Chain A
Amino acid sequence: DTEVTQTPKHLVMGMTNKKSLKCEQHMGHRAMYWYKQKAKKPPELMFVYSYEKLSINESVPSRFSPECPNSSLLNLHLHALQPEDSALYLCASSQRGGSYNEQFFGPGTRLTVL
């Protein structure tokens, strides 16, 4: 299995809602990542988990809350989002953090905040 899967594919939520995005990989990778990609822009890193510990938080607002319950699973909890948070949220994984590692990307969750 060489895939990173993400659910849901699409999500529409209001500004007062609480929702979660899910990412899963079964490649035995120990580093997992969340990126945000706005239309016609490159992906921007949000969070990095390495061996289930948060290692990088790119000054992301607290309305985004990541969680890594185990080495295969990565969640992104969303609460009180703003319309400008609408974007494609990408998950990626790599064998481990560090050099000589390539990241494998999932298809993304397209989020619309009303």
Chain B
Amino acid sequence: AQSVSQHNHHVILSEAASLELGCNYSYGGTVNLFWYVQYPGQHLQLLLKYFSGDPLVKGIKGFEAEFIKSKFSFNLRKPSVQWSDTAEYFCAVTLLDTGFQKLVFGTGTRLLVSP
């Protein structure tokens, strides 16, 4: 079965530190890739997405992600985190063989940024 792995379950950083969250998926076909964020008490919001083209995508709030097809990875990065980035981050994938309708989420990474 297709799956999405996020290896970092909990990450604690100080403000201004750099962030990289790992995401790997197990599917050899065409995918659409997403990072969603869930701030405390708020609903899921899309940070960025990759459909095709330039594998380096930029999203909101200074986040970016790089799609490396050979590694089945879509890691999320931010050069300098802020306290307000404290949230849960989900990597997610839609797959060609489900008509891109089924969004499969990774297990999530809880990020705590200390001031």
Instruction: List residues of chain A with CB under 8 Å of any chain B CB.
Output: 31, 33, 40-45, 48, 50, 55-56, 58, 90, 92, 97-108
Closest B residue to A44 by beta carbon equals: B105
B101 contacts which of A41, A97, A100 (Cβ < 8 Å)? A97
Chain B, residues 25-51, CB within 8 Å of chain A (1/0): the string is 000001010101000001111100101
Contact residue range for chain B? 20 to 34
- B107 at interface by CB-CB < 8 Å: yes
Taking CB as reference atom, which chain A residue is nearest B107? A42
Main secondary structure of the interface of A (DSSP, over half): loop
Q: A99-B94, A102-B49, A105-B36 are in contact. List 11 more A-B contacts (CB 8 A).
A: A41-B107, A42-B90, A42-B105, A56-B98, A92-B103, A98-B100, A98-B101, A100-B32, A101-B100, A105-B45, A108-B43
**Residue among B49, B90, B96, B103 with most chain A CB within 10 A:** B103
Residues of B in contact with A (beta carbons under 8 Å apart): 30, 32, 34, 36, 42-46, 49, 51, 90, 94, 96, 98-108
- Least CB distance from A45 to B in Å reads 6
Chain B residues with Cβ under 8 A from A40's Cβ? 108
Q: How far is the CA of A38 from the CA of B51 in the complex (A)?
A: 28
Chain A residue contacts of B46, Cβ below 8 A: 102-104
Which of A31, A41, A42, A100 is close to B51, meaning CB atoms less than 8 Å apart?
Answer: A100
Q: Which of A45, A55, A102, A108 contacts B34 (CB 8 A)?
A: A102
A55 to B46, CA, bound (A): 24
Cα separation A48 to B101 with both chains bound (whole Å): 7
Please, could you name 5 A-B residue pairs with CB atoms under 8 Å apart, sorted by A?
A42-B107, A101-B100, A104-B46, A105-B36, A108-B43
- Cβ contacts under 8 Å, B103 to chain A: 33, 43, 45, 92, 103
- Given the interface contacts A42-B90, A90-B44, A105-B43, does A97 sit within 8 Å of B107 by beta carbon? no
Name A48's closest neighbour in chain B (CB-CB): B101
